[in-house]
Amino acid sequence: MATLIKTLKEDWSLSATVAGFLAVLISYAGPMIIFFQAAQQANVSSTMMTSWIWGSSIGAAITGIILSIKYKAPIITAWSAPGTALLVALFPHISLNEVVAAYITSAVIIFFIGITGSFDKLLKWIPHGVAAGMMAGILFQFGVGLFKATDSMPYVVFGMLACFLLAKRFSPRYAIIWVLLSGIALSVLFGKINPVPMNFSLAIPELIMPEWTWSSTLNLAIPLTIVSLTGQFLPGMAILKLSGYNTPAKPILSVASIVSLAVAITGGITIVLAAITAALCTGKDSHELKEKRYIAGIANGIFYILGGLFAGSIVMLFSILPKELVAALAGLALLGAIATNISVAMKDESQRDAALITFLATVSGMHFLGFSSVFWGICIGMISHLVLSKREEKIITPPSTQNSAQS
């Protein structure tokens, strides 16, 4: 323990801490809205809503901290945002007890998929170009969101953009810190800070007994498992791989599912590997040295613990910031990740067409047969890669045959 504390002190950095904070900020300011929508559909009480946030936050914190320390990689975990969106469609026709049972069932399925190592085998089949195309497609909307935010808050957003450019020129390591501070200052200056009554109090989780039904299993547990694997774990592992971290999927899925089982009875939704917010912590903006970026994963977990302990208050705190500021901050913070993934996607000429098709399918937002564009992006991209690879082999084969005949 003493050695661990000493190592953490030596590796700790302000930039990695800020990256971890920004990942939490974006999670609370973005996917958390889906939580509120789902709670409204089910007429959930404020105390139960607080318990949901407590379970999800503490679950993400424990998973992220343990895995980041163990593998010295910025492993960012969160709750399943696509899974939460399923609740909006199912409420009020499903009870909270059935929801908890579905969470437990989903966690058990993911655990067995992880422990068997089958997910690792799947990842080896996905080429770098296709994976990068998928990630670029996921992150693209955040880059566009930066400029869409100018429609309602042009002076604040353009001011943040100007600050970003100057900071990247003169203080690149702390560029996002300056952008955050300038965004808050400009929001105060133009009167855009949302007035919210603050009342800090510790959250008290409530236990919910599970009730298994075929309806909740088929309508929530199975879809939740699919969207968690395809929409969260798959792109999350891809971003780790593209950032140079060869962390196996087996322990990540196993630990995340075990923690999911523990927090499910408080209403905490399935804990998954983050993709979008992970991109904030795996790049050079987090730390110049790759081996020290794991601090962002630990910092992320610490901020999630604070968010869980003050679940009711933290939501009010984050709601002070205007949504345009958060959108601009996310867009600017993810510029490096967008550029890296587009570069990797277009780098290998043999994978370029498949990577481009993956990118376009992912960014399209299609929901064919109820599956997300992320799922279809990777499927269509893989099919494209296999077809185009075979075509190239056929083109290359005749000359080699001809040469051998001549010799």
Q: What is the pLDDT of residue 253?
A: 93
Distance (Å, whole) CA 363 – CA 357 = 10
* Spatial separation of the C-alpha atoms in residues 161 and 168, rounded to whole Å: 11
pTM of the model: 0.71
Q: How far is CA 107 from CA 62, 98, 249, 257, 359, in A?
A: 16, 14, 15, 5, 30
Extents of the domains making up the chain: 2-348
SS3 79: strand
Q: 271 by DSSP, 3-state: which? A: strand
73 DSSP 8-state letter: S
**How many residues can be counted in the chain?**
407
> How many other CB atoms sit within 10 Å of the CB of residue 236?
26
**E strand or H helix at 171, and its extent?**
none
> Distance between CA 141 and CA 149 in Å, rounded?
12
pLDDT in tens, the chain (407 residues): 778 888 888 888 888 998 898 888 777 766 665 666 566 666 777 778 888 889 999 999 999 999 999 999 999 998 876 667 667 667 777 888 888 999 999 999 999 988 988 787 777 777 878 878 877 887 788 788 888 888 888 898 899 999 999 988 887 767 777 888 888 888 888 887 766 666 667 888 888 899 998 888 887 888 788 778 877 888 888 888 888 888 888 899 999 999 999 999 998 888 999 877 788 888 887 888 888 899 999 999 999 998 888 877 766 666 677 878 877 887 887 787 788 788 888 888 888 888 899 899 888 877 787 666 777 888 888 888 888 876 544 444 455 444 444 43
Paired residues of 271 in beta bridges = 79
Axis crossing angle, helix 14-29 with helix 311-318, rounded to the nearest 10? 90
